[in-house]
């Protein structure tokens, strides 16, 4: 049995500013760092064999914090990166709508067909993430693995596991920062969901008041 734990990186400065990050980066906030520390405490007694992270700094830094004292290396996989938003990276939603409303209308009408300018379409992104997830499962077969990635990436993994098609409001329904999800994969690649988007470890902290 392969057990897959999945988390999203901690809150970043651009998350607070509601800016599109994509393949660009911004630093974790104090809240993001503390959330990663709380997640580290939650999984302290879980015997992880592998940690695989997106190479983007916000995810990799989160992985470093969550790892805690575990004596395992953090591997990276480019396929786990967030969607490439091209020209829109670093912009706020209102700025994008104001300056590129026609492009947004096209993307919203069919996100699988129309991609972000100089970026990816949703189908390109989904296919990349699906392949990456399968590669991680195969490489860590029979082990306990933690994947540290992004909201969009995890939404694609959820879509693959639950067998549903992502719709045009997919970016509004992503998991919480530093939440924890867990799945089991048997030898026939049948996937069982144990829990999803759990944030119990983030409750009751002064950091979130």
Confidence of residue 101 (pLDDT cuts 50, 70, 90): confident
Q: pTM score, two decimals? A: 0.92
- What are 117-159's pLDDT values in tens digits? 999 998 999 999 999 999 999 999 999 999 999 999 999 999 9
Confidence of residue 204 (pLDDT cuts 50, 70, 90): low
- The reply to whether 9 belongs to the active site is yes
Distance of CA 48 to the CA centre of its chain: 19
Backbone φ/ψ region at 105: left (φ over 0), alpha (ψ -120 to 50), beta: alpha
- The reply to whether 150 belongs to the active site is no
pLDDT of residue 161 exceeding 70: yes
Among residues 82, 89, 120, 158, the one annotated as catalytic is: 82
> How far apart, in whole angstroms, are the C-alpha atoms of residue 18 and residue 88?
12
Residue 194: give the domain boundaries: 2-208
> How far apart, in whole angstroms, are the C-alpha atoms of residue 113 and residue 122?
8
Q: Which residues are annotated as part of the binding site?
A: 8-15, 58
Q: Which residues are annotated as part of the binding site for substrate?
A: 8-15, 58
- Domains contained in the chain, number: 1
- CATH number of the domain encompassing residue 54: 3.40.50.1240
- What are 19-30's pLDDT values in tens digits? 989 999 999 999
């Amino acid at each position: 049995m392969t057990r897959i734990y999945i988390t999203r990186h901690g809150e970043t400065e651009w998350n607070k500013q509601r800016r599109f990050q994509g393949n660009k980066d911004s630093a974790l906030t104090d809240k993001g760092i503390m959330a990663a520390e709380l997640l580290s405490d939650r999984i302290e007694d879980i015997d992880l064999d592998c940690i695989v992270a997106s190479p983007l700094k916000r995810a990799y830094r989160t992985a470093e914090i969550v790892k805690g004292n575990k004596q395992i290396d953090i591997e990276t996989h480019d396929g786990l990166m967030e969607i490439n938003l091209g020209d829109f990276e670093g912009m706020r939603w209102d700025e994008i709508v104001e300056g590129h409303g026609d492009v947004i209308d096209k993307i919203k009408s069919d996100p699988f067909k129309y991609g972000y300018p100089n970026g990816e379409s949703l189908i390109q992104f989904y296919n990349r993430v699906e392949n990456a997830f399968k590669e991680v499962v195969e490489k860590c077969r029979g082990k306990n693995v933690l994947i540290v990635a992004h909201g969009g990436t995890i939404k694609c993994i959820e879509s693959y596991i639950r067998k549903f098609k992502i719709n045009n409001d997919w970016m509004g329904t992503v998991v919480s920062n530093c939440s924890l999800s867990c799945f089991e994969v048997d030898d026939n690649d049948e996937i069982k969901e144990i829990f999803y988007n759990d944030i119990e470890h983030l409750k009751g902290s002064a950091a979130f008041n």
